[in-house]
Structure 1
Amino acid sequence: MTIDLAVIGGSGLYNFPGLANASRHAIDTPFGAASGDVVTGDFAGRKVAFLARHGESHTVPPHRVNYRANLWALHSLGARRVIGVNAVGGIRGDMGPRVIVVPDQIIDYTHGRYTSFCDVEGAEVRHIDFSEPYTESLRRELINAAGTAGIAVIDGGCYGATQGPRLETRAEIARMKRDGCDLVGMTGMPEAVLARELALDYACLALVANFAAGCGDEAEISIEEIFAHLAAATAEVPRILEVLLKS
């Protein structure tokens, strides 16, 4: 099977709108079960694969996602380009709710996750270059597609990946800001590095659902507001990907 683009949907994106002739694939991987079936179909005249990172009913928390199985499943179906759609909190002042960012760097604060395909008995140990964690050519395609679609996105930014599922303390966000993070999310790693180990082109569409703790005016972050902002940003994703696939 030839897959022109694979999309991993985060919180708020549990299916791919407009996917025609859809079929489901339960993939058996050496790393266990993926978050759910991979759904393939036609979109914008191309073959697209979609996987809901947290499961289609949002039952898998970020620290329990089987990132290795997810990436392996997409790779085994023939995907070579992957877009990760991630819900994030904004740290930088211009990265407020409903803003879409195409980050170019990552800092990993997660722990206890399987971060490499090398982490199995007898596997070859590979030291990959991760200086640039996202594929620049695919990043540029996303940014250009958004521009053509008339959708504003921010080019670049540092994604800080935290453990979750709880949100962060003000002190943790202050530390991340000092470290140079512009965004905070719970699923950016190890997804990006596993894609690199499989030689997949990988880029991220980061959808800002809220300001991180201490970065906005809210005394408390409301989950209801988070999902309202996320729904508005998520609605723009198919338009961006449609232009990307047609270009």
Structure 2
Amino acid sequence: MENRLRDLATARYHDHHPFNQRMHRGELSPDELRTWVANRFYYQWNIPVKDAHILAKLELPAMRRSWIRRIQDHDGVAGRDGGIERWLRLGEAVGLDRRELLAQRRLLPGARLAVDGYVNFCRNNSALEAVASSLTELCAPSIMLTRLETFPLHYPWIDDDGLSYFRDRVPQGRRDGSEALSWVKEWAVTRDQQDRALAALSFKCDVLWSLLDSVQGATREVTPR
């Protein structure tokens, strides 16, 4: 089961999307980067929301204590900024006004639908499926490391402080992916449960891919999947 989940995530993760590949080759214009940052921000903004829905489904206090850390990672806690604030700083580093980001002035309809669909998936489905959908975290550290390597090389005009989101997500992604994987392996005992876990992860890959389709479609002709 673990191999099937890892293989699915590796094969379907959005690092294969043409837009991300162009990003990592240094082929994006400043405005294309700004369009991506502005629309990805809507995803970042809603991560704590979807995690709150998952939190409400967890029956054991120890699990709730562990999962709430994800909300704090993005919302921040007293004296420590979270991922949302760091993404806002990335926006400023690429030339966006944070007020524009917060007002969602550049949010594309397709990106909104993809993110809202993910939040509703976590709201309406079982804890198993909601947690399994988060297993894209298994691939997140790799793409963050790629961006930390390629952004200073290809986009040196972006201030280094704007890349702090990527740095923090490397250890967080490893921790979160490992935890979610252990839970899914424990819960997905029957063939039906395993199939639903795989379908949930596949859906999440579609969410991330669709978000990039929207961004790419706003900047150039969409490349078919």
TM-score (norm 2): 0.32
Between 1 and 2, higher relative CO (CA 8 Å, sep ≥ 6) is seen in 2
Structure with greater strand share of residues: 1
